Structure 1
Amino acid sequence: MEFANIILLISVSQGFLFGFAILFSPYFKSQTNTYLGYSILILAFLMFNVYLDTLQVYQQHPKFLILYDIEWIFLFPVFFFYYILKSINHKLLESKKLFLLYIPFLFSVIVNVVFNLEHVYEWYSYSWEYKELVYGWIFDIQEFGYYSFNFVIAIWAYSILKNKRYIGHQNSKWLKRLCVWEVSLVTSWVLIDIIDMIFGLGYEIGISIICSGASLFIFWIVYNGIYSLKLTSIRKSISNNDVKVKKPEVSASQHSFSKNNVYFLKLENLLQREYIYRDPNLNQEMIAETLNISSGYLSQIVNDITKKNFTAYINSYRVKEVKDMILNEEFDKYSLLAIGLEAGFKSKTTFYTSFKRETGLTPNQFKTNQKKVLIF
């Protein structure tokens, strides 16, 4: 097992190193990249469990066996899927039903905790005629589940990316490749298990192949996701004019996903001083081009700092201006719709929906409430 252990150690070390770097480095840390970091850490933890198993740690300390029995692999496709959705600002993120993706993992936790409490910790004991048969069925379902669950989520994510709306997205090509990589990894895993059952491939060879594939997968994610696509901070001048003028060094915090981010400060300046939100045709690509950064990076900045998607963030400025105009007597002669369009909203529906989302009131209700306040 020496060769397999070396492969495992390399894979585990790489996974934890890259995973924690993404989660805690000021250059990589963001709400979107967090899910990428979680995905990598789950893979690293799974391989670490296998490594401990090869060293017979769980046989020597059975009390910890529950950590091995719980199928953590159910979490990988969930974090993976969240990363895809975050990267493209998909509307599914607003759905509370997305929490249902955690059910397979919760099922595994409950089943394995109950089983271990009885058989390992011996906290209680009960018997009935079909108990072992039922346990066998449950664990078979669990095994089939973690194969199929990974396939289904990867295919679902790929089908979303194939939608015309996301074909031209900045990160579309790389995210599709990520889905293909995951399907390939799971397929290899299944085939190796089948070959082992039929031809007796051997535990050491099977583990070495699977872990080598996982290690390459992690390295590919990190290389393409962080370096090639620059999902982290982009260290370059905002415009060609900035290159001509020597400026003081910028701290890491100004490049991180915080309010001190240089690009976010530029964006805030454009909105607060140049009122670019008043343009009803304003879009993410236009602003990204103005700031000389990618649309995907701009999306991450807005998402992580404001906790809103790009459209909601821009509309919040429009709503604020509408509120200011409603409070200004000079605009009493104008209809609310005219005020909304003046602030940059493109349609009545968007105006009313955005206003109520921001304030909890319709424009009419807000205006009526303000008049009552003035009377008193």
Structure 2
Amino acid sequence: MHQSFALLFLALSAGSLFLAAFLLLTGVVQANHKANKWLGAFFFLLSLLLMELFLEGAGHPQPLLIQITEWPRWAIFPCLYVAVFTFVHPLRRPRLLLIHFLPAVIFIIFLTLGDKVQLPNWTGVIARYFFFAQGLVYGVLNLRILMKHQSHIRQVLADRASDLTWLRNFVYAPLVIAGVWLAFRQLPIVDGLLQLLCLGLSLYFVSAAFRQRDVYPGKLSEVEDWPGDVPNESTSARRLTPNQIAILKDRVTLLTDQHKPYLDPALNLHTLADKVGINTHELSLVLNQGFGMNFYAYINGLRAEEAIRLLKSGKYGRGEMEAVSIRAGFNSRTTFYAAIKKKKGEKPAGFLKKD
């Protein structure tokens, strides 16, 4: 491929990321405001990295300009890590936040000093491959955040549709970017195709950023301490005795039997806790120790029972599965089928009343 096309693809990639960074940093996206500031910083620094490659490819005569675009390189993945963390924990900040940016500060200092400081030969190897290593490390850290989120979200929401599926695009971004960057340095033969790949990835990430929605509905954005699969034994367990758990279990059962709050598709742990008259940690403890399941499993089990009752009523046919799922409180077809299959080991159509 002609070099001019390769440079064009790099310029378009850098430009699209820069524009996305500007829009995110200026608050155009209303949801997840704090996290989007970090995501905007990630896009901006990534656009500088691509601009550096563009200047190098174009043979720009000003090395200082290339250095300026190279300086923040080691801060790219830490910015994305903080963004992913803040999407999931909007009221918290990562531990040792400044430590994540320490390598970038050291990198800038050494680049500024230039030839004034004589460094060992092995530092050149580290500088060459550290960015790639960062991508691997932060890819794993982001994946760990997502896995924890998927576990915790089932304690407060009862539907997979409420999960941050779009966030996976950014969880794997460090691995993809590091791989492409290494290919740029090691595989000049495919020059041109890599730039086209960069443009495609840039547009994909930008599109994912602007398709995002609120992380947690309603009051859940105010909940800072998420209950885990098993609430902390040193706090909630001391407050609730086995007898109290049994009493609260009866109260939850009575509430769900009489008022059927699970028919509300927006039901979450916070809302149900308010209805029961206890806090989210206590409700999570009652569900785990009293019912032997988390919020996700408990609510969807009740919805599955309601759906089966509707299917057996004879009022619905095979073409009305979506109506049944909505009436039962589901807002995801996938969750509807999975919940009934798990509850009874049979597909929903098997419960339709035979003529």
Q: So what's the TM-score if we normalise by structure 2? A: 0.54
Separation of aligned partners in 2, 1:65 and 1:15 = 18
Percent identity of the aligned residues?
A: 12
Separation of aligned partners in 1, 2:90 and 2:29 = 24
Matched, 1:157 2:136: no
Separation of aligned partners in 1, 2:122 and 2:219 = 45
Partner of 2:24: 22
Matched, 1:111 2:114: no
Q: Residue deviations 1:201-223, cap 9 Å, x none?
A: 2xxx43x3443333222322232
Structure 2 SS opposite 1:74 = helix
- Segments of structure 1 that go 5 or more residues without pairing to the other structure are 119-125, 232-293, 303-308, 313-340, 349-376
Separation of aligned partners in 1, 2:98 and 2:138 = 14
- Which structure 2 residues correspond to residues 80-229 of structure 1 after superposition, within 5 A? 80-89=80-89, 93=93, 95=95, 97-115=96-114, 118=116, 131=118, 134=120, 136-163=121-148, 164-166=151-153, 170-196=162-188, 201=189, 205-206=190-191, 208-227=192-211, 229=212
Which amino acid is 2:205 matched to? Answer: I
Does the CA-based 8 Å contact 1:11-1:214 persist in structure 2?
Answer: yes
Structure 2 SS opposite 1:93 = coil
Q: Residue deviations 1:229-287, cap 9 Å, x none?
A: 3x3xxxxxxxxxxxxxxxxxxxxxxxxxxxxxxxxxxxxxxxxxxxxxxxxxxxxxxxx
Partner of 1:67: 68
CA drift at 1:100? 0.6
Does the CA-based 8 Å contact 2:138-2:174 persist in structure 1?
Answer: no
Separation of aligned partners in 2, 1:182 and 1:153 = 6
Which amino acid is 1:157 matched to? Answer: N
Which amino acid is 1:141 matched to? Answer: I
CA drift at 1:39? 1.1
CA drift at 1:347? 7.7
Does the CA-based 8 Å contact 1:88-1:169 persist in structure 2?
Answer: no
Q: Residue deviations 1:303-347, cap 9 Å, x none?
A: xxxxxx5347xxxxxxxxxxxxxxxxxxxxxxxxxxxx9x96578
Matched, 1:32 2:35: yes
The count of aligned residue pairs is 224
Of the candidates 10, 13, 19, which is equivalent to residue 11 of structure 1?
A: 13
Of the candidates 196, 203, 216, which is equivalent to residue 296 of structure 1?
A: 216
Q: Residue deviations 1:96-155, cap 9 Å, x none?
A: x12210011112111111115x4xxxxxxx7xxxx46x1x32121122211101110111
Against the structure 1 CA distance between its residues 26 and 190, is the aligned structure 2 distance closer, same or farther, given a 3 Å change threshold? closer
Partner of 1:46: 49
Separation of aligned partners in 1, 2:124 and 2:9 = 28
Which amino acid is 1:310 matched to? Answer: V
Separation of aligned partners in 2, 1:345 and 1:154 = 35
CA drift at 1:13? 1.7
Structure 2 SS opposite 1:162 = helix
Against the structure 1 CA distance between its residues 66 and 45, is the aligned structure 2 distance closer, same or farther, given a 3 Å change threshold? closer
Against the structure 1 CA distance between its residues 93 and 11, is the aligned structure 2 distance closer, same or farther, given a 3 Å change threshold? same
CA drift at 1:65? 4.6
Separation of aligned partners in 1, 2:184 and 2:63 = 27
Separation of aligned partners in 2, 1:104 and 1:182 = 16
Does the CA-based 8 Å contact 2:14-2:48 persist in structure 1?
Answer: yes
Separation of aligned partners in 1, 2:58 and 2:176 = 28
- Segments of structure 2 that go 5 or more residues without pairing to the other structure are 155-159, 226-273, 283-355
CA drift at 1:69? 4.6
Separation of aligned partners in 1, 2:12 and 2:280 = 54
Against the structure 1 CA distance between its residues 346 and 45, is the aligned structure 2 distance closer, same or farther, given a 3 Å change threshold? closer
CA drift at 1:297? 5.9
Separation of aligned partners in 2, 1:27 and 1:159 = 26
The RMSD of aligned alpha carbons is 3.4
Does the CA-based 8 Å contact 1:36-1:79 persist in structure 2?
Answer: yes
Does the CA-based 8 Å contact 1:74-1:150 persist in structure 2?
Answer: no
Partner of 1:76: 76
Against the structure 1 CA distance between its residues 181 and 26, is the aligned structure 2 distance closer, same or farther, given a 3 Å change threshold? closer
Q: So what's the TM-score if we normalise by structure 1? A: 0.51
